[in-house]
Structure 1
Amino acid sequence: MGEPKDEFYEDEHTEPKVSLAEDGLGDAPEVDLGEGVDLGAEAVIAALEAERDEIRDRMLRALAEAENMRKRADRDRREAEHYGGSKLSRDLLPVFDNLHRALDAADEASKETAGPLLEGVELTLKELLNVFGKHGITPIQPEVGDKFDPQLHQAMFEAPVPNTKAGDIIQVAATGFMLHDRLLRPAQVGVSSTPAG
């Protein structure tokens, strides 16, 4: 029986090696100290400090990446809550338009003969606007004479109209809508092209 072997030596004829990788903490290379070199405390401490610094760096990077992923997931969740229904909302806008047109088309004679029917259409339109409001959908309803805003309005036509200035809204063809702070549909308007005089 021979003497117990030191853990850094494979057998009596190999060169001494120091392993910098602990169980599962990295794949640091072994440092070959050469034939007959005594492992000094300073060399071991320096090797361990380098390994510690590398592990700390990896850990800080992993924590930063996890925090970024958490923030990104939180932002995506908020956006899905706020804007996830935008396609359905856009699909419901023609329903609003048609109900609005039905009420606009009613004259005094039809109001007398079809009063309850028109009242039902009006109540349906109000309920639709209430549902829109619950989900952050607000109407953009410019008035004739307002200034054209390309962020909120879409010019359907331009025409010179007396007593107006260029850029004034002269007709509102369709109501626009916002979904929270995003434009869902611009208000469709006619714009004056009267030159400045």
Structure 2
Amino acid sequence: MAQDNPATESISPDASEDFLAADELDALRAERDELRDRFMRALADAENSRKRADRDRREAEQYGSTRLARDLLPVYDNLTRALDAASDETRTQASALIEGVELTLRELTNVMTKHGVTPISPAAGDQFDPQMHQAMFEAPVPGTKAGQIIQVMTQGFLLHDRLLRPAQVGVSSTPG
């Protein structure tokens, strides 16, 4: 009599189909997970690109006029020097001319301020700040401490929060 051996029994066709279906299901799940991961990464990249483009756009709006502003600073300096050079006698004799130069300088200042250009105006006795000032010379001056500003040669300017041009100053080298 032949005994039934479970090891020699063949697998029923339904069981093999279930086994293949489980493998296919696992493969599909793995593919789904991979596609979901790729989708999420692409979504994150797109969001990062959008944020970067937005930041670049804001920066271009705010600082795009840097070259023009730098080119206008010598005009400001020359108008200021012209007014500083005018003596009281000249002011009396050419009052209309002086008034015109003052109005032009005031208008230039207003336009620069409107576009975010603000002056850095150190005064004698202020402490030298290498972030905002450029030392043009050092000199020992009695009654001052080392690192104090002793003379302002030209104003500096900021464009919003960025340094456009440092203020040019003379600094005391007298030990305090």
**TM-score for the superposition, normalised by structure 1:** 0.79
Q: Which amino acid aligns with 2:127?
A: K
Question: Which residue, out of 85, 90, 103, partners 1:123?
Answer: 103
Residues 78-124 of structure 1 deviation map (CA, whole Å, 9 limit, x = unaligned): 10001000000000000000000000000011001110100010011
Q: Distance in 2 between matches of 1:185 and 1:123?
A: 24
Give the Å deviation of 1:47: 1.0
Q: Which residue of 2 aligns with 1:4?
A: none
Question: Which residue, out of 134, 142, 147, partners 1:162?
Answer: 142
1:184 and 2:164 correspond: yes
Work out the percentage of aligned pairs sharing the same amino acid: 69
Q: Which residue of 2 aligns with 1:143?
A: 123
Q: Which amino acid aligns with 1:117?
A: L
Please give the secondary structure, in 2, of the residue aligned with 1:170: strand
1:104 and 2:76 correspond: no
Aligned residues: 160
Q: Distance in 2 between matches of 1:168 and 1:47?
A: 75
Residues 46-90 of structure 1 deviation map (CA, whole Å, 9 limit, x = unaligned): 011011011101111110110010011001001000100000000
Work out which structure has the larger RCO, using CA pairs closer than 8 Å and 6 or more positions apart in sequence. Answer: 2
Question: Which residue, out of 59, 63, 71, partners 1:91?
Answer: 71
Matching of residues 1-197 of structure 1 within 5 Å: 38=17, 40-196=20-176
Higher helix share: 2
Give the Å deviation of 1:41: 2.1
Long gaps (5+) in structure 1: 1-36
After TM superposition, where is structure 1 displaced by more than 3 Å over at least 4 residues in a row? none
